[in-house]
Amino acid sequence: MLTQGYRKLAALVLVFALLLCATPSALAHDMYIGGSKWAFGKDRILSTIELDPALFQEIRGIKELGYDLDHLTADQLQKMTTEVIQPYIDEKLSVSVNGRSYPEKVVKIEREGTLWKIWLKISGLHFDWQENKVKIGYRLLLEETGNQHVNLGYVYYTDADDDAVQAVFDKTQPDLQYIFDANNTVWEFSDKTAAFLSEIFTYFVLGIKHILTGYDHIAFLLALIVIGLSAREALKIITSFTVAHSITLLLAALHIINLNAKFVESVIALSICYIAAENLLAKKVNYRWLVTFMFGLVHGFGFASVLQAYVADQSNLVRSVVSFNVGVEFGQLMILFIALPLLYLIKKRFSLRRVTIVASAAIFIAGFYWFVDRIFIL
C-alpha cells in the first residue's frame, strides 16, 4: 500500500507528466518565419518583405477582401496594395535615419514561387555610413500570430538599380543580419562594428530562448541530474552534453552531415525515455557522462535544425554557431542553478530514491508521448 508521501508524489508525477505532454512537442520550435531584405544605396533604401502564403493572408484586411490570392486580377492586386498593404505598412513598419522618419512606399506586390513579396522604397536619402544612424521598427504580423512571428532581416550595401537588386539578394551575401520578433521589434545600427556585436548578441539570446523553450531538452537535462548528483558531477555531465552537441551542431550547419529531422526529433524523445528508464531500473548509474555525450550528438542535430533557419550564409556561420551555442550553454546553466537547489530542498522532505522514481516516471511518460507524437506525426 502506498504511503501518504508516495501518494502525494504520485499525484505530482501525474500533474507534471500531463503538463509536459500538453506542450506542443512535435512543433515545439516551429515559428511563423518570414524574411526581409534591405538594400542601402547612397540615396535610397529598397527593401522586400517575403512571406509564405499562409502568413501573407494573415495580414489584417486581406481576408476581408475575399479575393482568391492564387488568381488575382490586376485591379484586385492594385486595390489590395492601396487599400490594405500600404496602410498596414504605414502602421506597422518604420524607418528613420538620424532621428528623421521616412515613409516606406509600397512599389509593388508579387507572387514569386512559394513566396509573396512586398517591395518597398525610400528615396531622397544621402548616406555616410560612418555617421548616420539607422533605426528599423518592425511590428508586422505580431498581433495576427499571437506574437509568434519571426522575421529574418538582412542588410546589403549596394548601389544596384531597382531592376538589379533582386540579383544582389540572390547572389551575394548580406552585410548585416538581425532577427525581428515580439521582443526585438527595433533594429538600430550605424556601422559594421556595432552591427557585428548586435549579431553576436542576437544569436546568443536565440540560444538561451531555444533551450528555455525546448521542453524536450529541459526534460533530458532534468533526467540526468535527478539521481542526486553533486554540483561538480552535474557540471561534468552538462559539459559532456555541450561538447557533443557542439560537434554535431557545427557539422550539420556546415552541411557535412545531414539527418532527417523526423528521425532526429524521435531519437531525442527516445534519449529522454532511456535516461529516465535507467534512473528507474538501474541499481547504480555508471558512465553517465559518456551516455550523455552519445545522446548529446543527436541533440546537436536538433539544435542545428533551428539555427539553419536563421543563418543567411556561410560567411557568418561559425560566428553564429558559436554565439548560439554559448547561449544554449548559458541557458543550460540557468536550468542547472535552479534545479539543483530545488532538488536539494525536495530531498530534505522526501528520500532521494523516492524523488528519483517520481520525477523519472514523469519524464519517461513525457518522453514516450513525444516519441509517439513525432514518429507518427500526430
* pLDDT the model gives residue 339: 87
Would you state the cell numbers that stand for residue 162, as one nine-digit string? 531597382
* pLDDT the model gives residue 316: 62
For the segment 70-75, the average pLDDT, to the nearest whole number, is 92
Would you state the cell numbers that stand for residue 158, as one nine-digit string? 549596394
pLDDT, greater one: 361 or 198: 361
Segment 191-247, tens digit of pLDDT:
555 556 666 777 888 888 888 888 888 899 899 888 877 778 888 888 888 899 889
Dihedral angle, C-alpha 280, 22, 51, 106, nearest 10 °: -130
Tell me: pLDDT of 363 over 90: yes
Tell me: pLDDT of 131 over 80: no
The torsion angles phi and psi of 208, rounded to 5 degrees, stand at -65, -45
For the residues of 133-169, what is the DSSP string, one character each?
-EEEEE-TTTTTTTT-EEEEEEEEE----TTTHHHHH
* pLDDT the model gives residue 324: 86
For the segment 39-66, the average pLDDT, to the nearest whole number, is 92
Across the chain, what does the average pLDDT equal?
84
How far apart, in whole angstroms, are the C-alpha atoms of residue 50 and residue 53? 10
Tell me: pLDDT of 189 over 80: yes
The pLDDT > 70 percentage for the chain reads 85
Segment 158-169, tens digit of pLDDT:
878 888 898 888
The pLDDT confidence band at residue 55, using thresholds 50, 70 and 90, is very high
* pLDDT the model gives residue 255: 80
The pLDDT > 90 percentage for the chain reads 36
Tell me: pLDDT of 186 over 90: yes
* pLDDT the model gives residue 26: 39
How far apart, in whole angstroms, are the C-alpha atoms of residue 87 and residue 104? 10
pLDDT, greater one: 127 or 17: 127
The torsion angles phi and psi of 18, rounded to 5 degrees, stand at -65, -40
How far apart, in whole angstroms, are the C-alpha atoms of residue 292 and residue 160? 51
- Closest listed residue to residue 115, CA positions, set 78, 159, 158, 169: 169
The pLDDT confidence band at residue 19, using thresholds 50, 70 and 90, is low
The pLDDT confidence band at residue 337, using thresholds 50, 70 and 90, is confident
For the segment 137-163, the average pLDDT, to the nearest whole number, is 90
Task: Identify the three-state secondary structure at position 111.
Answer: strand
For the segment 75-86, the average pLDDT, to the nearest whole number, is 95
For the residues of 272-338, what is the DSSP string, one character each?
HHHHHHHHHH-SS---HHHHHHHHHHHHHHHHHHHHTTT---GGGHHHHHHHHHHHHHHHHHHHHHH
Alpha helical stretches, state H, the chain? 4-22, 53-56, 62-65, 74-80, 86-92, 165-171, 192-213, 215-225, 231-253, 261-281, 288-307, 317-347, 352-375
State the first-to-last Cα distance of the chain, in angstroms, to the nearest integer: 37
- Closest listed residue to residue 206, CA positions, set 31, 333, 323: 323
